[in-house]
């Protein structure tokens, strides 16, 4: 099987469409798609071209959203939490920043940089509210990744919320991981 052909299933699934939908868009049979994806058939050049053209058209229309990229497990800190506890949490979960959340609302962020600055300045006994930075921007689940990417140039993370409830967060690493999945 041609290495390009072996990616059809992966691309189709990433776009969230069925074999039948791809077949309709490529004007080929669903069984042809199934056989090509399973490696049981090498399609003719014209059918392969139709399939890849359909995938390319779908990909151009599919814009990844915050909902597809966000991490739904949110590790956060409270404003009264001692810095030493936050450091333990960051080590345990291998994260470099986290939101500060009170009453289901983001009130700040805490990063390795702000913690290091506090320790260097003799504030190792400080609590989160003493050293936290501004709150991360909040976007909806349907926000395009281009906008999120631009926000991440200026903020360590972006929070995703719906109807006032924080559902997840996105960091640069999350975005890179999803794009090059």
How is residue 79 annotated by DSSP?
Answer: T
Distance of CA 156 to the CA centre of its chain: 14
Considering the four listed CATH numbers 3.30.1370.60, 3.60.15.10, 3.40.50.300, 3.10.580.10, the one that applies to the domain covering 66-179 is 3.10.580.10
Copy the structure tokens of residue 144.
């395009």
Tell me the CA end-to-end span of the chain in Å, nearest whole number.
22
Cα distance between residue 12 and residue 8, in whole Å: 6
H or E element, residue 98: strand 97-102
How is residue 109 annotated by DSSP?
Answer: E
What pTM, to 2 d.p., does this model score?
0.65
73 contact partners, CB below 8 Å, separation of at least 6: none
Q: 33-61 pLDDT, tens per residue? A: 999 999 899 899 999 999 988 888 877 65
Considering the four listed CATH numbers 2.30.130.10, 1.10.260.40, 1.20.1260.120, 3.40.50.410, the one that applies to the domain covering 5-61 is 1.10.260.40
pLDDT surpassing 50 at residue 1 = no
Give span(s): CATH 1.10.260.40, the chain: 5-61
Q: 115-163 pLDDT, tens per residue? A: 999 999 998 899 999 999 999 999 999 898 889 999 999 998 999 999 8
Mean pLDDT of the 12-41 span:
91
**Structural contact between residues 135 and 79, judged by C-beta atoms closer than 8 angstroms:** no
H or E element, residue 148: helix 145-151
Give span(s): CATH 3.10.580.10, the chain: 66-179
């Amino acid at each position: 099987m041609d290495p390009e052909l072996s990616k059809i299933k992966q691309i189709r699934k990433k776009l969230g469409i069925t074999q039948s939908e791809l077949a309709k868009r490529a004007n080929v049979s669903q069984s042809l798609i199934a056989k090509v994806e399973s490696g049981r058939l090498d399609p003719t050049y014209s059918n392969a071209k139709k399939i890849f053209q359909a995938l390319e058209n779908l990909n151009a229309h599919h814009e990844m959203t915050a909902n597809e990229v966000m991490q739904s497990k949110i590790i956060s800190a409270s404003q009264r939490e001692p810095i030493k506890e936050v450091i333990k949490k960051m080590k345990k979960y291998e994260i470099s920043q986290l939101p500060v959340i009170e009453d289901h609302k983001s009130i700040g962020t805490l990063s390795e940089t702000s913690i290091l600055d506090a320790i260097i300045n003799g504030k190792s006994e400080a609590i989160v509210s003493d050293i936290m930075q501004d709150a991360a921007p909040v976007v909806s689940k349907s926000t395009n990744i281009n906008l999120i990417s631009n926000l991440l140039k200026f903020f360590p993370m972006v929070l995703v919320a719906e109807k006032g409830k924080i559902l997840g967060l996105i960091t640069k690493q999350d975005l890179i991981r999803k794009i090059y999945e």
